[in-house]
Amino acid sequence: MLAHRLQLYLFGDHSYILFKWRDNTVVQSSLKINAYI
């Protein structure tokens, strides 16, 4: 596992993924996806 902590936030078709690494560096990436849950 590369990410120490993974948080996924879904806002309609937009999802925001927050990766918290072991050195407390937070990397945010925004994705345009079609989520059917």
Instruction: In whole angstroms, give the CA distance from residue 32 to residue 28.
Output: 14
Are 26 and 18 spatial neighbours (Cβ–Cβ below 8 Å)? yes
- Domain ranges, ordered by start, for the chain: 1-37
- At residue 15, the pLDDT reads 56
Residue type, 35: A
Residue type, 30: S
Which pLDDT tens digits describe the chain residue by residue (37 residues)? 444 455 555 555 555 555 555 555 555 555 554 544 4
pTM attached to this predicted model: 0.22
